[in-house]
Structure 1
Amino acid sequence: MNPHALAASRKIDATNGTAGKDDRSPPRYVAIKQSISDAVRDGQLKPGDRVPSESELVDRFDVSRMTANRALRELQASGIIVRRAGIGSFIAEPRPIGQMIEIRNIAEEIRERGHDYRARVVQNSEERATAETAPLLGVPIGTRLFHSVIIHHEAEFPIQLEERFVLASVAPDYGRIDFTQRTPNEYLTRIAPLERVEHRVSAMMPDARTHAMLGLADGEPVLRMTRRTWSRGRLVSHAWLTHPGTRFELSAAFSIDD
């Protein structure tokens, strides 16, 4: 546990056994939530810091596991913490806001927020368009495509699952690019300057694959942006950009000329 979390733990220890002894005291789960919220407000716990586990809260507050679990669930629902299965609970980063109209490099967005960026490339391979994938780019079955799947991380948290199909004739080196060092967006905008962009955003419940890749909590929805881009009169890329619904929001701003 880092020094910030340790400081918060001492604060929690100091309240152990006090909640519930007075009829005017709040319920135990509320006391736990308030203690962690206060530690965040006072700077004792910062984004990314680990918070006490369910078992630790049971011991420190002398409560049942059900009570500790409720406190953590409600902290998660309010966006104060994020819970990672098999790892623990952590103070959440402020919810990032993605630009929906402007096409930006996600790595730059994350770094501008003062956070570390890293990518994990799950797949980047060449394949032939099938009856399912050919319509995505409006090409005949059998056309050479590249298919990439990349998980983008902000600090230690997965913030975007990017699945993209790219027309190989426009980006012949796509399959050889190291996308841990540069993003597909950065590469494609350099070799195929944007001419037209189409966006569609929807909220949905994730499938098991997406749930695992983004480290989602049970029942957590996602925001999925479908993005198609054209260059020199050709549709060159079809991408699904999927974000955890509780840790991300999209915005757009524009001016209207008189």
Structure 2
Amino acid sequence: MPAEPLYIQIKQYIEDKIDQGHWGIGERISTEMELTEQFDVSRMTVNKAIRDLVGEGKLERRPRLGTFVTRPVEKAQSPLLDTRNIANEVASRGKQYSSEVLRHEATQADQHIATKLGVMLGSSVYYSEILHKENELPIQLECRWVNAKYAPHYHQQDFTKTTPNEYLTANCPMTQSSILLRQSPVAINSAHCWK
């Protein structure tokens, strides 16, 4: 079994240090350069780990001062977790939904996709491009990369009968750290809308 990507290991190290009280709320953590030397990795790898923790609200960057531990904030469920199924949105407007599958394939993660999904280079991933329509007019082009580990049957789905959102919501873990419309371990998605 392959080891976790280096940036995830560094992220876990930082989280462990925070949990153990080594870095308290409001305290500055080690600099990127210090972590780069400590783990013998590129600065880009350390930067990715810190960016993820900033995105999760565990750290904050202060220009020219460093990166600091933030106070945990109790949040109501994020509206991003309430991702909406476009077929339902179209139906709610009293219109007819349809889709056209432009690409739907199994492949291997290149460097960019591996970094985005937090998987090893060459890992199994799926890619789909689906043109969503309302009354036969295109309204959205959805391009989605999916981590095969979390959705092993994604590439076998008929996305003219269901949407990727509907399938992934029913079959994959949906947590704060796996938001489908943002960078996540499950899927990364981009949608280009018209109207």
- TM-score of the pair, normalised by structure 2: 0.55
Contact 1:147 1:163 in 2 (8 A): yes
The amino acid of 1:172's aligned partner reads P
Counterpart Cα distance in 2 of 1:112 and 1:184: 18
Q: 1:228 aligns with which of 171, 182, 190?
A: 182
Counterpart Cα distance in 2 of 1:152 and 1:196: 26
Describe how 1:50-65 pairs up with structure 2 within 5 A: none
The amino acid of 2:191's aligned partner reads L
Q: Is 2:105 the counterpart of 1:155? A: no
The amino acid of 1:123's aligned partner reads R
Q: Deviations over 1:207-252 (max 9, x none)?
A: xxxxxxxxxxxxxxxxxxx92265xxxx1010001112xx1xxxxx
Counterpart Cα distance in 2 of 1:128 and 1:171: 14
Contact 1:118 1:153 in 2 (8 A): yes
What residue number does 2:11 align with?
none
Counterpart Cα distance in 1 of 2:159 and 2:90: 16
Q: Secondary structure at the match of 2:90?
A: helix
Q: Deviations over 1:110-150 (max 9, x none)?
A: 01100000000011100000122211201111010000000
Describe how 1:16-165 pairs up with structure 2 within 5 A: 101=80, 102-165=82-145
Q: 2:188 aligns with which of 213, 238, 241?
A: 238
Counterpart Cα distance in 1 of 2:136 and 2:84: 21
Q: 1:187 aligns with which of 155, 161, 167?
A: 167
Q: Deviations over 1:130-182 (max 9, x none)?
A: 12221120111101000000000011211111000001111111111000000
- TM-score of the pair, normalised by structure 1: 0.42
The amino acid of 2:182's aligned partner reads R
* Aligned-residue offset at 1:197: 6.3
The amino acid of 1:237's aligned partner reads A
Q: Secondary structure at the match of 2:106?
A: strand
What residue number does 2:75 align with?
none
Counterpart Cα distance in 2 of 1:197 and 1:172: 19
Query: Cα RMSD over matched residues?
Result: 2.0
The amino acid of 1:154's aligned partner reads E
Counterpart Cα distance in 2 of 1:197 and 1:156: 35
Q: Secondary structure at the match of 2:182?
A: strand
The amino acid of 1:119's aligned partner reads S
Greater share of residues in strand? 1
Q: 1:159 to 1:152 in 2, by over 3 A?
A: same
Q: Secondary structure at the match of 2:152?
A: coil
Contact 1:197 1:227 in 2 (8 A): no
Counterpart Cα distance in 2 of 1:175 and 1:114: 30
Counterpart Cα distance in 1 of 2:93 and 2:144: 25
Counterpart Cα distance in 2 of 1:144 and 1:129: 6
Q: Secondary structure at the match of 1:194?
A: coil
Counterpart Cα distance in 2 of 1:167 and 1:160: 22
Q: Secondary structure at the match of 1:166?
A: strand
